[in-house]
Each structure stands twice: as structure tokens, then as C-alpha cells.
């Protein structure tokens, strides 16, 4: 499958202490597209994102971004390179206002960066947050808090956003709104790599899907094909993906 890869993982092995979680993950992420990683619990989905953003060191393998080897880089350096990470759960400063949460998102910006102007511009981009700019972040709904996290990640105009389980704890309506926002970001040229347990909803708005099982890439294809692949359905019913092998990148 011919794509313009902005991110490439080659034979990535990683884990926690003596426990190996990733056993040689290989896949490319297409530039300007939404790619979703799916798989059963324990497949290594979130671990992939932690390796990509420097929270976990790869034991073996190589990660390249825009042609640059970023293997083992620290989060601050990756932010400067144009990668941001929205982790699972809620990661906001609840006692601070929405505006001040966004201001904190500019902490790693270069000297002379127009923080106030950038925050105001981001609030205009997210009218829901703009209406609540002076509210304490803890008073926002779960979906609004997730939007705040995404908005904070966008402040430094990243080329690639890594998002881990964005739909956790959200109402179906808020999930649909969030997916619409991700599609809008793609339309603005942002590349998105998402981990999501709500596989069908995520794949329906994605360009590509990546199936992990047992810490290995078992399948990579256009999202529409993965949605109707009987092997994927079998996987989510608790079976094994037979005769698939590691996907070619």
C-alpha cells in the first residue's frame, strides 16, 4: 500500500521491567490521515504511544518521524519536533481556569512566543471552551475536559497528535462530537494516530487501521477494509488472527 509516511516504526520491542509487551511492532503512519490502533486488552496499544512519546524506552528497533530518527528522544524534544500526546483519562489542572490550563500548554514554547494571543486564538477555534474560558476546569463535563486536553495539545501547532482512548467515559453524543473534531483537524493537515477500544466508531472516521495482537502488528489496511474483515471480528470475539502475519508497511 503506497502512502506518504510521516512516522515509521521498525521492529520496535519494549516493555516494563522484565515483562516484554511489544515484540517487534512494524507500521507506517500516513501523513495528513487518521490512523487508529485497535486490538484486545494487553495487545500493547497504549505502550506503542508511550514509546513514541518517550515515556518508555524501546529495547530494540527504530522510530523515524519526517525522516529523522527519534528513537529514545525525550518528550520535550518531541514536542519541539512537532509531536504531541493526549494520554488516556483526565489530565487537566482542575482548580485552574480553562484559560490558564491552555496557558500552561505553552510552557515549552520558545522565548518570545505570543502565549496570550495563541490561547485566545485556540479558544476561538473551540467555541465551547471559549464560553467557559473563566470557569474552573473541574466544572467541565468529561467530554469538555477531553476537548480542553486536545486544544492544549494543539497550541504548539503539532504535525502529529497521539491520542490514547479519547472516548473513555464520554457519552455517545460527546464521542460523536469528538470524532467530528478529529476529522476537522485532519482536514487542516494534522496527522492523528489514535488508540481506541471503540473500534467501529474510530475506524468509521479513520483512513487507516492497525491491528495489534500479542505485541505484534497483525494487520494494517485502509479502515474501510478492516471494518469488514472477518479476521478482525474473530479477534474481538476472543479468537486468534490466524495466518495473517506481521503487516507490511
Q: Same domain for 75 and 163?
A: yes
- All residue ranges of the chain with pLDDT < 50 are 237-249
Instruction: Kindly state whether residues 184 and 235 are assigned to the same domain.
Output: yes
pLDDT tens for 63-77 read: 999 999 999 999 999
State whether 77 and 108 are in the same domain. Answer: no
**DSSP code of residue 185:** H
Residues 205 and 122 in one domain: no
Question: Residue 88 has what pLDDT?
Answer: 83
Residue 114's contacts (CB-CB under 8 Å, 6 or more residues apart) are none
Residue 243 lies in a domain: yes
Q: Do 182 and 244 have their domain in common? A: yes
**Residue 59 sits in the same domain as residue 104:** no
Residue 89 within a domain: no
Q: What's the CATH number where 202 sits?
A: 3.40.50.300
Instruction: Note the pLDDT of residue 248.
Output: 37
pLDDT tens for residues 114-135? 888 889 988 988 888 999 999 9
Judge contact between 33 and 187, C-beta under 8 A.
Answer: no
* 103, 17: one domain: no
Does some domain include residue 90? no
Q: Considering 156, 174, 192, which residue would you say is the last residue of a domain?
A: 156
- Based on the fold, state whether residues 128 and 236 are members of the same structural domain: no
Residue-wise pLDDT tens digits, 54-64: 999 999 999 99
Domain finish residue from 113, 132, 156: 156
Residues 74 and 24 in one domain: yes
Q: Which runs of E-coded beta strand occur in 39-190?
A: 60-65, 68-69, 83-86, 160-164
Enumerate the H helices of 113-249 as residue ranges: 115-125, 127-131, 142-154, 172-187, 199-204, 223-227, 230-236
Q: Are residues 50 and 163 in the same domain?
A: yes
pLDDT of residue 2: 63
Domain that holds residue 127: 96-156
3-state secondary structure of 191: strand
> What is residue 108's predicted lDDT score, i.e. its pLDDT?
67
* pTM score: 0.87
Asked if the structure places residue 164 within a domain, the reply is yes
- Mapped onto helix, strand or coil, the DSSP state of residue 145 is helix
* Position 88 in a domain: no
Look at the chain and report how many structural domains it folds into: 2
In a shared domain, residues 164 and 249: yes
Q: Say if residue 128 is in the same domain as residue 162.
A: no
Amino acid at each position: 500500500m503506497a502512502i506518504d509516511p510521516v512516522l515509521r516504526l521498525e521492529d520496535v520491542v519494549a516493555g516494563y521491567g522484565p515483562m516484554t509487551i511489544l515484540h517487534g511492532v512494524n507500521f507506517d503512519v500516513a501523513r495528513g490521515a487518521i490512523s487508529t490502533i485497535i486490538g484486545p486488552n494487553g495487545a500493547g496499544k497504549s505502550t506503542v504511544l508511550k514509546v513514541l512519546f518517550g515515556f518508555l524506552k524501546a529495547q530494540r528497533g527504530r522510530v523515524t518521524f519526517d525522516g529523522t530518527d527519534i528513537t529514545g528522544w525525550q518528550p520535550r524534544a518531541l514536542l519541539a519536533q512537532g509531536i504531541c500526546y493526549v494520554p488516556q483519562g483526565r489530565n487537566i489542572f482542575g482548580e485552574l481556569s480553562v484559560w490558564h490550563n491552555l496557558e500552561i500548554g505553552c510552557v515549552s514554547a520558545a522565548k518570545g512566543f505570543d502565549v496570550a494571543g495563541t490561547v485566545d486564538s485556540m479558544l476561538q477555534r473551540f467555541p465551547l471552551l471559549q464560553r467557559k474560558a473563566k470557569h474552573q476546569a473541574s466544572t467541565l463535563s468529561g467530554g469538555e475536559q477531553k476537548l480542553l486536553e486536545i486544544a492544549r495539545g494543539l497550541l504548539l501547532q503539532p504535525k502529529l497528535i497521539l491520542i490514547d482512548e479519547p472516548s473513555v467515559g464520554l457519552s455517545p453524543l460527546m464521542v460523536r462530537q469528538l470524532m467530528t473534531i478529529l476529522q476537522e483537524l485532519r482536514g487542516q493537515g494534522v496527522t492523528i494516530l489514535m488508540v481506541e477500544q471503540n473500534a467501529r466508531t474510530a475506524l468509521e472516521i479513520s483512513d487507516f487501521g492497525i491491528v495489534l495482537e500479542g505485541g505484534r502488528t497483525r494487520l494494517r489496511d485502509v479502515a474501510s477494509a478492516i471494518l469488514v474483515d472477518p479476521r478482525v471480528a474473530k479477534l474481538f470475539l476472543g479468537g486468534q488472527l490466524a495466518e495473517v502475519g506481521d503487516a507490511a508497511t
